[in-house]
Amino acid sequence: MEVLVRLERVGSVARIVLARPHAGNAISLDVALQLRGVAEACASDPEVRAVLVSAEGKAFCVGGDLTEFQAVAGRERSDLLRRMADAFHAAQLCILSMPKPVVVSVHGAVAGAGLGLALLGDLVIASSSAHFSSAYTSIGLSADGGSTYLLPRLVGLRRAQQLLLTNRRLMADEALEWGLVTEVVAPEALVEAATEKVDALANGPTAAYGVIRRLLLASSTTDFATQTEEEGRHIARLAAGADASEGFAAFREKRRPLFTGADA
């Protein structure tokens, strides 16, 4: 089977690489299925402390594979899209909910499902060449890839409506201004910048990062009392753990902490 999504391990960092550059890393059914498998492998590996998502070629991801969609019609196309969406959504949910920080490195076209994948990053590092669009309505489809959930949370409802309904193309600097990405760098600096960010996270208190990810994800569906109760429960639990002991010791000794990512 052709490898369309590659999983690499560099120390405690797992790298998920879209590896279909000849097709703009378009999401086919096989890509979605492989992405789900790779995401599940990252989530279940206790040696992985941080994840970097990137892509080969000139584009991060141009969206769904229109060639595959056009090869079928009617009910067959509907069934194909549903299977693809289910696999892609499962991969997204796995990445979004794993207790490990995620960095996404984007360049070139970031469209449709590619936009949905980029939105999953805790940190999104963009090349100045990157441009973002929804693209779904340009082929008569409704938005997918988690964009109706993630975009309003990141950029607000009004801007999400603009992006999803008008297919406006957002350039990298404007994406930074809107809060869609974390940082914009020159194309030649992208790999180094993304690697630096994910390595720093992998060497950090990753158990605490996992808690923060879960709390942030839950924050839009809970009230203040529930949210702060959860905050109190987790911070008290982690305070008894090895990383907190190391953090306090490093502060006292005026040195850099050496976290292991151990949970309490």
The residues that are catalytic are: 89, 144
CA distance 13 to 179: 25
Nearest C-alpha neighbor of 264 from the set 197, 194, 207: 207
> Looking at this protein, which amino acid is placed at residue 35?
L
> Looking at this protein, which amino acid is placed at residue 149?
Y
Copy the structure tokens of residue 155.
């950029």
- Rounded alpha-carbon distances, angstroms, from residue 181 to 6, 121, 125: 24, 9, 6
Largest CA distance in the chain: 68
DSSP assignment of 69-120 equals HHTS-HHHHHHHHHHHHHHHHHHHHHHHHSSS-EEEEE-SEEETHHHHHHTT
> Is the distance from CB of 113 to CB of 145 less than 8 angstroms?
yes
Exposed/middle/buried for 99, CB within 10 Å: 0-12, 13-18, 19+? Answer: middle
Distance linking the first and last C-alpha atoms of the chain: 41
Copy the structure tokens of residue 57.
């070629």
